[in-house]
Chain A
């Protein structure tokens, strides 16, 4: 039996694990963790086999579709893009589950935890191998609800319940845009088919959508006086969904709060099962974006801005997990930028963005799990109380330093020597440079290079404050058990070498997705459809451009070493706590005041909802006035008002008879 036929099991096994763990987990040791671990391990093996098979035979894409209801379908599609995602998600999720058996051993509801994480993984896997946009959306929403359940896992904590709600609602704003995009797309395709969709044609399947890109580009909408082609409109709406899910500005606000759940959940959310969904969505629908250069421009700008914006907040946070959360936001910005520059480099952008996504998954999962290991041991995530943890927890410290090196992208340009992040992040920055050359817009490049410095500062600040020097408080602590350190070591190995090993093959493999299999038009003619041309590869970039990211990373390392390592520079003297910029950053640009306190509470709740109440009382009053008026008019008939229903019924029948006569008369006249 060919392994392709087992592809459907990849999401189904974790979904079954959810059901089993939910109902039986309590009776098993460690909350039944073995069920999801076994299921996800099997899914991992299947994904890996399919990926290897695709690597050898790129044309053997798995594609199966079945009718669902009406003209909609369910189906699976495993092409190179999906295959690498599946393999990464199952792999990282598997390690996190193994780690969780140690981490959650003291919790009072481990079975609920493992059930929900299994469902979380299943939803993400279902999202990845969807062969149509609606199914992708469905799994997208399931991912959202699982994150809601897991962020609010300790629901008896009010802050957890609040954070969960905030995460769900903020991403939901994006989801609504995504759904609107699907609705517009559906209605366009429905009209293109003139309402007669033949049997067996499922109009929301990706191949069907891509085949109609020229038709979609031909439809124009007039929005606030601007002529916008529907392909631009739809892709922007899709990107709106990605902004919510992938924590891009301005919908990133939920992500730093999302750490109210267990740290392992943060690792899942930040690395594997949630925030990457938005990047994947843009990558999946990339042919549509290519035909909509304006949308790609928006993607590039939002991504680059998010990268630097989140970086500025990362450098002032004192909470271990919060620094990592802003780091994720920033890195996701890089991925979006990597896709946005597709306007210059074509389908190569997908390969590079995905490459960074995978590398990031390894080192970010590692960073969170290391943080979890520290928190598990010392019981706090305030870095100001830590220091010198390396002595107590050597494995955790070493793996975390490896992850940081991968995050900052340390490596030697022009060679295959470097950490994972080096290969992907530098490629994105170089593409941003190429994008600047082609389009003449340099801001994305400038943002991305500045963000590289910020990245290095915030992460090495974290390392020095946490692991270096002497303990600032008496926190005790001990190295974590093997169930936790082994996953750390495996991830550290990946963070160290995965990039270097695969850099040659990965990009071509993934970028081939849209060259061979899907689009009956090639990428460059789609670009022509969008009214522009892709850049010719002009050969090597200048030496400085190649070395600049590394210089930035090293500069950050030196700066933080001076401040937090050697303490030569006293930060408190340099920047006062009342410095307006410091306060702005430390208070996270007052986003909470703006979004939560002003927009949600003042405008939506106290404004609209209460206005609605007033209007509703108005309607009630009108009805009451109307009935009072009628009753007063009927004052003379008061003696008949006995209050018994049968008397009213008599009156009703009398009235009806009169009305009948009236109608008869009216009909005659008409």
Chain B
């Protein structure tokens, strides 16, 4: 059997190197498209051969690497990782098409960054060894750092450094947690291993309760900064806003924080010394993020910054749903990651298009764009509706699953999140009203609607938002299988 996972991870990295060698925009974008399309085809093949009825890792590849330290080359996907790999594989080729006609400096490096991010992010989802996991985890930082600092907006350097340092510090804390787990397990069993499933299963046998909680919190910190969750979100608005459109979309694809929550945190949660405390922390951070992000989004004048804060708000559902510990809420949280990736891609693309054609993203300076950009208007209205949780679109499936599921165990936190629903609707509609509707602002000069490539890529994502909103099963079923598995572990422990 061919090592399909290795190919999915390595092909983008190889193509990134190839893209660096190209001289022109035309060559670079073809390389990028080829690389991302190959990944898409392989992923689709993998998806159709994936058994969504079992919670185990599939397509596993295992090879010894540094036996003395217990480092292995171990890859595999389960129902948590599969949808996220699929998300990346679908959006990235569309992102390349979206940027097809753009002119910018060093297109070779630009497309290399896109490809490298794809490889690194999928690498995180596929890694079943903490060593690999951490390498890929840190690898995602580098192309994104360059993305912001080379092609970003006016404050790009500050934003890039802030993003880099902030999330890097968090990664280090996470690394401490990994080492803590690694050494504790090594002490107990006498054999070193960095294998993720093995270490997670050995976590419960650690004797010291303080050690268990420290390990758990260190890992949790690493993940929730990446999600990001209130109050560790302040890197996000700057990074998302200053990044070029493609960079913002790549940030959105970076679902590794939430992934860690489901893959690593939840299976360990029942075995910590104080599981209820951990649940409370997660639920509080999640629900406050939802409400806080919504208020902050409401107060923004720059459309892209508003979208960035709305991202904080939406990702709060991920943390909250994970803490809900009912299979419906956990699956809903996983689905929120998937849904959010699709929706935010279009949101950022829309901001990018508007900025390019009008020269501003300040919503009060816009106005009446729908008359001049009808295609963009249709796609934007649909996406904004998805983002504010309109039924029939993906956002609703996620939100209702999280809210209904979490209410069983966490009623008061759900009420906090529910309060945000009206605010969420308000900032979305107000943004549409100011930017797209009303009298056309003649000061904007002539604006042009989205081109064919942009229409295609945004249109395809919009159709997917509708499709998965009506029929979430193709990804929801496998999420459900895995969350039922996780929840059954909890039930066995009486959490």
Q: Are B184 and A134 in contact (CB under 8 A)?
A: no
Shortest distance between the CB of B11 and any CB in chain A (Å): 25
Contact residues of B between 11 and 41, Cβ < 8 Å to A: none
Interface residues of B in 140-182 (CB under 8 A from A): 142, 145, 162, 165-166, 168, 172, 175-176, 179-180
CB distance from B374 to the nearest CB of A (A): 10
Contact between chains at A645 and B145 (CB < 8 Å)? yes
In the complex, B216 has a CB within 8 A of chain A:
no
Give the docked Cα–Cα distance between A26 and B244 (Å).
37
Q: Mark B177-205, 1 if CB is under 8 A from A, else 0.
A: 00110011001000000000000000000
Q: Give the contact stretch, choosing among A175-183, A277-285, A396-404, A454-462.
A: A175-183
Bits for B353-372, please: 1 = Cβ < 8 Å to A, else 0.
00000000000000010110
In the bound complex, do residue B401 and residue A168 qualify as a contact, i.e. CB atoms below 8 Å apart?
Answer: no
Chain B CB count within 10 A is highest, among A190, A195, A609, A656, for A609
- Chain B residues with Cβ below 8 Å from A169 are 422, 425-426, 429
Interface bits A609-631 vs B (CB < 8 Å: 1, else 0)? 11111011001100100010000
Are A184 and B166 neighbours in the complex by a CB distance under 8 Å? no
Task: Return chain B residues, CB-CB under 8 Å to A184.
Answer: 407
**Complex interface: chain A residues within 8 A of B371 (CB):** 156
Evaluate contact between A180 and B418: CB separation under 8 angstroms.
yes
Judging by beta carbons under 8 Å apart, are A182 and B404 in contact?
yes
Does A190 lie within 8 Å of B439, measured CB to CB?
A: no
Determine the residue in chain A with the shortest Cβ distance to B177: A663
Set A160, A172, A608: member contacting B425, Cβ < 8 A: A172
Asked whether B433 is an interface residue with its Cβ less than 8 Å from the other chain, the reply is yes
What CA separation (Å) do A505 and B61 show in the bound complex? Answer: 72
Binds A, one of B95-103, B252-260, B290-298, B338-346: B290-298
Q: B430: CB under 8 A from chain A?
A: yes
Contacts of B44 in A (CB 8 A): none
Decide: A179 and B408 in contact? CB cutoff 8 A. no
Set of chain A residues within 8 Å of B448, measured between Cβ atoms: none
Mostly, the B contact residues are helix
Comparing A135-143, A489-497, A582-590, the segment that makes contact with chain B is A135-143
From 636 to 665 in chain A, residues with beta carbon under 8 angstroms from any chain B beta carbon are: 645, 652, 655-656, 659-660, 663-664
- Of B175, B298, B396, B421, the contact of A656 (CB 8 Å cutoff): B175
Q: Which residue of B lies closest to A668 (CB)?
A: B187
Chain B residues, Cβ within 8 Å of A155: 370, 436-438
Q: Does B415 contact A (CB under 8 A)?
A: yes
Pick the residue among A182, A187, A619, A663 that contacts B234 (CB under 8 A).
Answer: A619
CA distance A620 to B236 in the complex (A): 11
Contact present for B328 and A619 (CB under 8 Å): no
Determine whether A571 belongs to the interface, using a CB cutoff of 8 Å to chain B. no
On whether the beta carbons of B326 and A190 are closer than 8 Å, the reply is yes
Quick one: closest B residue to A182, CB to CB? B404
A659 to B397, alpha carbons, bound, how many Å?
Answer: 43
Establish whether residues B231 and A619, one from each chain, have CB atoms under 8 Å apart when the complex forms: yes
Q: How far is B411's CA from A85's CA once the two chains are assembled, in angstroms?
A: 36
- Is the CB–CB distance between B437 and A152 below 8 Å? yes
Neighbour of A652 across the interface among B168, B211, B397, CB < 8 A: B168
> In the complex, A141 Cα to B404 Cα: how many Å?
17
Interface assignment of A581: CB less than 8 Å from any CB of chain B: no
Is the CB–CB distance between B437 and A161 below 8 Å?
A: yes
**CB 8 Å contact bits of B205-249 with A (1 = contact, 0 = none):** 000101100000000000000000001011100000000000000
- Taking CB as reference atom, which chain A residue is nearest B209? A670
Q: Choose among B233, B299, B390 the residue that contacts A613 (Cβ–Cβ < 8 A).
A: B299
| A615-B439 Cα distance, complex, nearest whole Å | 35
Across the interface, do A609 and B295 meet the contact criterion of CB distance under 8 Å? yes
Q: Give the interface centre of A610, A652, A670 by most chain B CB atoms within 10 Å.
A: A670
Q: Is there a chain A Cβ closer than 8 Å to B331's Cβ? A: yes
When the two chains form their complex, are residues B385 and A145 in contact, meaning their CB atoms are under 8 A apart? yes
Chain A contact residues: helix, strand, loop or mixed: helix
Is A224 in the interface zone, CB < 8 Å from B? no
Check: B403 CB closer than 8 A to any chain A CB. Answer: yes
CB of A609, distance to nearest CB on chain B (Å): 4
Whether the pair A612, B400 counts as a contact (CB closer than 8 A) is no
A298 part of interface (Cβ distance < 8 Å): no
Task: Please tell me if A416 contacts chain B, counting CB pairs below 8 Å.
Answer: no
Do A187 and B184 have beta carbons less than 8 Å apart?
no
Nearest B-chain residue to A621, judged by Cβ: B234
- Name A217-268 residues within 8 Å CB distance of B: none
Give the Cβ gap from A241 to chain B, nearest Cβ, in Å: 12
User: Do B408 and A191 have beta carbons less than 8 Å apart?
Assistant: yes
Cα A182 to Cα B187 in complex, Å, equals 50
Q: Which of A129-178 contact B (CB under 8 A)?
A: 134, 137-139, 141-142, 145, 148-149, 152, 155-158, 160-162, 164-165, 168-169, 172-173, 175-176
Question: Roughly how many angstroms separate A416 CA and B347 CA in the complex, as a whole number?
Answer: 60
Residue of A141, A161, A655 most packed against chain B (CB within 10 A):
A161
Query: Which residue from chain B places its CB closest to the CB of A610 in the assembled complex?
Result: B299
Which residues A183-201 have CB closer than 8 A to chain B?
183-184, 186-187, 190-191, 195
Q: Once bound together, how far apart are the Cα atoms of A168 and B414, in whole Å?
A: 23
**Chain A CB within 8 A of B413 CB:** no
Name the A residues within 8 Å of B459 (CB-CB).
none
Q: Is the CB of A187 within 8 A of B172?
A: no
Interchain Cβ contacts under 8 Å between A and B, 12 examples: A134-B400, A145-B390, A155-B436, A156-B440, A161-B437, A165-B429, A195-B408, A612-B299, A613-B296, A615-B292, A652-B172, A667-B183
A70-B327, A161-B438 known; 15 new pairs, CB 8 Å cut-off, are A69-B471, A69-B472, A69-B476, A70-B480, A134-B400, A152-B437, A156-B438, A176-B418, A179-B400, A184-B407, A186-B404, A600-B426, A608-B298, A609-B296, A659-B175
Contact surface of A with B, Cβ cutoff 8 Å: 69-71, 134, 137-139, 141-142, 145, 148-149, 152, 155-158, 160-162, 164-165, 168-169, 172-173, 175-176, 179-180, 182-184, 186-187, 190-191, 195, 600, 604-605, 608-613, 615-616, 619-620, 623, 627, 645, 652, 655-656, 659-660, 663-664, 667, 670
Ranked 6 nearest A-B pairs via Cβ: A609-B299, A138-B391, A161-B437, A612-B295, A155-B437, A187-B407
